[in-house]
Structure 1
Amino acid sequence: MTAATIYLDPARIQPVIDGEWHRVTSIPLPGEEIITLCGARGTVEFDVYARRNDGHVATMCAGCDREYRRALGIPAQARGRA
């Protein structure tokens, strides 16, 4: 059978842990434990993007945002996200 390759960008992956979306540096496999940029841990599950909002909108993790911006040389956001 011919392979069907799906290309994913790790910068666009948004694992949600406890209502916050985080950033990771690699593309994880289902069942794998991940450690996000802020140090949060979780076991990977995949779901359809359309089901991402189960009655609430996940917010961005301030710690992951801070580390992501620092790594890319982007200034910190105002209002406590520094």
Structure 2
Amino acid sequence: MSAAIYVDPQAVHPVIDGEWHRLTGVLKPGQAFTTLCGLSDTATFLPLSERRTLGIPRQCDRCDVIYRRDHGIPLQQDRIGKKRA
């Protein structure tokens, strides 16, 4: 018997050079992947407690734009400074 660990792919954000990215599916350790913005790397898994050891990761702007466009969410720059009716 093996243990199943269920992972929400929308909650998995690989951090590359201090930026977190979005993925299109679930990763396995050692699996190569490509982010929404086109970066490729190999998956490794670390405890959540180590996430900020090298500073707080920031969101990849390119992944954010692609994700928002694909899901019909207004881009951040389109929401800033707009007055509500």
**TM-score (norm: length of structure 2):** 0.85
Gaps of 5+ in 1: none
Matched-pair identity in %: 45
Matched position secondary structure for 1:66: helix
Partner of 2:83: none
Which protein has the larger Cα radius of gyration, Structure 1 or Structure 2? 2
For the aligned residue pairs, the C-alpha RMSD in angstroms reads 1.3
Partner of 1:63: 62
Q: Distance in 2 between matches of 1:41 and 1:69?
A: 21
Partner of 1:54: 53
What is the total number of aligned residue pairs between the two structures? 78
Gaps of 5+ in 2: 79-85
State the one-letter code of the partner of 1:12: A
State the one-letter code of the partner of 1:21: W
State the one-letter code of the partner of 1:27: V
Question: Which structure 2 residues correspond to residues 1-82 of structure 1 after superposition, within 5 A?
Answer: 1=1, 3-78=2-77
**TM-score (norm: length of structure 1):** 0.88
- By how many angstroms is 1:24 displaced? 0.2
Q: Distance in 2 between matches of 1:59 and 1:50?
A: 17
